[in-house]
C-alpha cells in the first residue's frame, strides 16, 4: 500500500514505477492539499479514510477506528477512452481498496461507529461487495457479521470473501431488494447494527472518494460517471463534491451521470423493477434505497440517469481491460459504457474533464471473465510446438 497513491508525489527524477520511500523531511504533496498537519512523521503510510479525512467525518475516537488502510486509490488517466470520447477521461480505481471495492470507504466509518456504540453484530443485505467489506471490517473489529445475499446471484469471489472473513451468510430465495427488506425487519427486533448504505455513516465514508478526486485534479471534474444500483454511491459522491464546493476547495461541482443496467433501471424508468436482471450482478437491484438522494444528486448537478444494455456493459468491460489495462467488474463497466453512450448522444461535451469510477475489481467475478474468453491452447513443453500454437512460424 505504501507505494500506491503517495507515489504520485514522487519528486521529479524518480524513476517511474520506483517504490515510493520518502526521504527524511519529505512531505507527500497530497498532505498539504488535504490539510494534513505539518507534524506528520515523514514516510508515514496512508492512514485510511478516517485518518486522512477525519475532520470531515462524524467524530470517531482514535482508539475506536477500525481501518484496513482503505482509500488513497489511483486516479488514472484513460487515453483510449479519452480518444474515443474527445474528453479528458480519468478512472478512479476503487478495486484497489482492501476488499477490492469502494464499499470499504463507508465500512470503516460504519463499523467503527457501530462498535463504538456497543454493537456486537453487524448485518447487511448485499449483491456481494458490501458483504465482503462488512465481513472484513467486522473481523477486524472482533464483531460478528451476518449477511443476506440473493441465492445464486452473487459473484464467486465475493461469496468466497464473506465466507473466509468468517461471516454468517444466508442465501435468500429472492433478490437484493428482498434481502434488504429482511435485514430492515430483523434489525427492528434484534440487537444487530445495519451497515447497508441506508446507514448514513456509510455515505459519510464513501464521500471521501470525491475529496480524493479533487485533491488530485486540483478541482472537481466537469462530469462524473458512476454505475448505480442501490444508489448510495452516487449520493455519497455528490455529498463530497458539495462539501468541497462549500468549503471553497473546488470552483465547481460535476454533473453526476448515473448508469443502470437496462434490465434493472428503476431510476431511469421512474418505477421499481420487481424482477431485475443483468449480467452485472452487483447492480441487479430493482428498488434502490437511496432513490431520492440519487435523484437530488442528478437534479442539483444538472446530471442524468440512463440505461445501458448488458452487451454495452460487456463491450466496455473488455475495452477497459484490453485498451486501458484496467480489470474492473462488470458493474463498474456500466459507468464506462454509459460515458461512451452519453458522449455519442451529445450528452457530454468534447473536451470535458471526466471521471469514471471503477467501483470493484474484475477478480471478484471469474465466471463472467472466463465466459467471454477462448479456451487457451494446450501444448507440450517444446519450443516449436509453442511457436506454432502462437502463430510465430
Q: What is the DSSP string of 21-80?
A: -PPTT---HHHHHTT--TTSPTTPPP-HHHHHHGGGS----GGG---S------EEE-HH
User: Measured between alpha carbons, how far is 321 from 337 in angstroms, rounded to an integer?
Assistant: 13
Q: Give the start-end residues of each E strand in 262-366.
A: 304-308, 353-358
Q: Does 101 bind ligand F0G (CB under 6 A)?
A: yes
**# residues contacting ligand F0G (CB under 6 A):** 22
Q: Does 359 bind ligand F0G (CB under 6 A)?
A: yes
Binding map of ligand F0G across residues 14-43, x = CB under 6 A, - = no contact: ------------------------------
Max Cα distance, the chain (Å)? 70
* Shortest spacing between CB 232 and ligand F0G, in angstroms: 4
- Kindly tell me which of 31 and 261 has the beta carbon lying closer to ligand F0G: 261
- Kindly tell me which of 162 and 214 has the beta carbon lying closer to ligand F0G: 162
Binding map of ligand F0G across residues 235-274, x = CB under 6 A, - = no contact: ----------------------------------------
Q: What is the DSSP string of 153-197?
A: -S-HHHHHHHHHTT-EEEEESS-HHHHHHHHHHHHHHSS-EE-ST
Q: Does 126 bind ligand F0G (CB under 6 A)?
A: yes
Place of cell 479533487: 214
Q: Using the rule CB under 6 A, which residue among 240, 286, 360, 362 binds ligand F0G?
A: 360
Three-state DSSP state, 305 = strand
Q: Using the rule CB under 6 A, which residue among 88, 129, 250, 343 binds ligand F0G?
A: 129
- Kindly tell me which of 233 and 352 has the beta carbon lying closer to ligand F0G: 233
Q: Does 362 bind ligand F0G (CB under 6 A)?
A: no
* Shortest spacing between CB 356 and ligand F0G, in angstroms: 12
* Shortest spacing between CB 377 and ligand F0G, in angstroms: 32
Q: Using the rule CB under 6 A, which residue among 127, 278, 301, 352 binds ligand F0G?
A: 127
Q: Does 229 bind ligand F0G (CB under 6 A)?
A: yes
CA dist 299 → 89, 148, 223, 255, 378 (Å): 23, 33, 14, 9, 54
> Which part of the chain contacts ligand F0G (CB under 6 A), choosing from 73-81, 121-129, 216-224, 270-278?
121-129
Which residue intervals of 117-167 are DSSP H helices? 129-141, 156-164
- The terminus-to-terminus CA distance of the chain in angstroms comes to 43
Which among 205, 188, 200, 254 is positioned nearest to 71, based on CA atoms? Answer: 205
Which positions from 300 through 339 interact with ligand F0G, judged by CB under 6 A? 329, 331-332
Which positions from 187 through 226 interact with ligand F0G, judged by CB under 6 A? 197
Residues that bind ligand F0G (CB under 6 A): 101, 103, 126-130, 197, 227-233, 282-283, 329, 331-332, 359-360
Amino acid at each position: 500500500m505504501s507505494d500506491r497513491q503517495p507515489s504520485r508525489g514522487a519528486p521529479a527524477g524518480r524513476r517511474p514505477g520506483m517504490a515510493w520511500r520518502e526521504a527524511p523531511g519529505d512531505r507527500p504533496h497530497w498532505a498539504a492539499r488535504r490539510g494534513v498537519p505539518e507534524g506528520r512523521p515523514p514516510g508515514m503510510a496512508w492512514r485510511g479514510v478516517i485518518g486522512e479525512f477525519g475532520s470531515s467525518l462524524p467524530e470517531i475516537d482514535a482508539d475506536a477506528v477500525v481501518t484496513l488502510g482503505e482509500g488513497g486509490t489511483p486516479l488514472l488517466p484513460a487515453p483510449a477512452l479519452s480518444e474515443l470520447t474527445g474528453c479528458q477521461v480519468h478512472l478512479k480505481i476503487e478495486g484497489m481498496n482492501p476488499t477490492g471495492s469502494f464499499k470499504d470507504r463507508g465500512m470503516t466509518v460504519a463499523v467503527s461507529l457501530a462498535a463504538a456504540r456497543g454493537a456486537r453484530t453487524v448485518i447487511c443485505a448485499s449483491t456481494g461487495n458490501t458483504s465482503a467489506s462488512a465481513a472484513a471490517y467486522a473481523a477486524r473489529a472482533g464483531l460478528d457479521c451476518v449477511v443476506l445475499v440473493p441465492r445464486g446471484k452473487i459473484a464467486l469471489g465475493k461469496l468466497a470473501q464473506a465466507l473466509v472473513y468468517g461471516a454468517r451468510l444466508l442465501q435468500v430465495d429472492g433478490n437484493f431488494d428482498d434481502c434488504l427488506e429482511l435485514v430492515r425487519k430483523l434489525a427492528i427486533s434484534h440487537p444487530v447494527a445495519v451497515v447497508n448504505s441506508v446507514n448514513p455513516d456509510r455515505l459519510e465514508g464513501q464521500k471521501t472518494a470525491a475529496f480524493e478526486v479533487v485533491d488530485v485534479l486540483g478541482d472537481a471534474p466537469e462530469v462524473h460517471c458512476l454505475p448505480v444500483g442501490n444508489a448510495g454511491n452516487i449520493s455519497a459522491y455528490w455529498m463530497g463534491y458539495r462539501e468541497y464546493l462549500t468549503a471553497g476547495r473546488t470552483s465547481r461541482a460535476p454533473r453526476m451521470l448515473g448508469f443502470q443496467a437496462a434490465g434493472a433501471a428503476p431510476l431511469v424508468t421512474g418505477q421499481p423493477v420487481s424482477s431485475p436482471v443483468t449480467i452485472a450482478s452487483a447492480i441487479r437491484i430493482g428498488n434502490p434505497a437511496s432513490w431520492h438522494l440519487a435523484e437530488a444528486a442528478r437534479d442539483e448537478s444538472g446530471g442524468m440517469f440512463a440505461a445501458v444494455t448488458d452487451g454495452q456493459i460487456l463491450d466496455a468491460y473488455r475495452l477497459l481491460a484490453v485498451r486501458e489495462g484496467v480489470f474492473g467488474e462488470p458493474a463498474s463497466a456500466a459507468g464506462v459504457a454509459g460515458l461512451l453512450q452519453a458522449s455519442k448522444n451529445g450528452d457530454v461535451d468534447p473536451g470535458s474533464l471526466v471521471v469514471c469510477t471503477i467501483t470493484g475489481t474484475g477478480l471478484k467475478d471469474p465466471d463472467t471473465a472466463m465466459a467471454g474468453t477462448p479456451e487457451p491452447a494446450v501444448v507440450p513443453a517444446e519450443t516449436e510446438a509453442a511457436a506454432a500454437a502462437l502463430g510465430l512460424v
